[in-house]
Structure 1
Amino acid sequence: MTAQLGETTITLNVPVTFVVSEAAGGGIRLTQPDADRRRRASEVEITVGGGGTPLLLPLMRGIGAAHIQYGVTRAEGGSGGAEVRLVAQRRCGGDAVRLTLDEQLEPFEPSEVDSMLEMLATAQCRAPGNKHP
């Protein structure tokens, strides 16, 4: 999918487990296609720029040529399942691209953390005057 976020054009390979629910100047929001049948559907927000100040995140993962900084918190949610929050960022076309995933997992349901990091690694960004992603 390709979206215009401010002056930056971003292209991402969105996993089939998510659909674009909104792509506006401030960011991209992804939801699960079966959100209406879930107790609490996972939500993803992607922004470009983020004020220019990089977040200090404790983990680093290289996927292909992309270097992604990220942090994951997990809290047991009782009968609602574990709550997982991923915050990740990488440089893309001279900008910082940030991704936030909030999900509540049913028992034995896998997390989307790895697929979100892989999606962020696919990001290509173009700003005015920038000829390369």
Structure 2
Amino acid sequence: MERAHQTISGDGLQIPLPLMQRYGLQPGAQVVLELGVEGIRVLPALAHRAKIESRALRHLLRHLGDAVTIEARQREDAWRVTVFASDSLRPIGELIYDLAGDFLEKPSTPLETMRRRAVEVMGDQ
């Protein structure tokens, strides 16, 4: 376990941003403070499935239209949203969200790739 030593000022405790970023917390992220007899833990505020699905569907509607369905699953380090062309069981891509619910563009399937795959799937039917 990593340790960092800080001094509590009159305003409280400030955790340096680079340290927070190492643990996946970015400016504006919401956190939960867990207070216990052992001390204080800072945890990311985890998004629930409904929030992830809503964000994914809005993103897809804005960029691909409404001819898609999704399936969201939480893994250890992220939410993985599998995207399907409507009426197809064959995935056309995947959207990745961190556990707090922020979209991660780089590991996600590019929208143009999903668009091309959707056209291919619809042509196969």
TM-score (structure 1 length as normaliser)? 0.30
Report the structure, 1 or 2, having the larger strand content.
1
RCO comparison, higher one (Cα < 8 Å, 6+): 1
- In our comparison, the structure showing a higher alpha carbon Rg is 2
If each structure's helix is expressed as a fraction of its own residues, which one has the higher value? 2
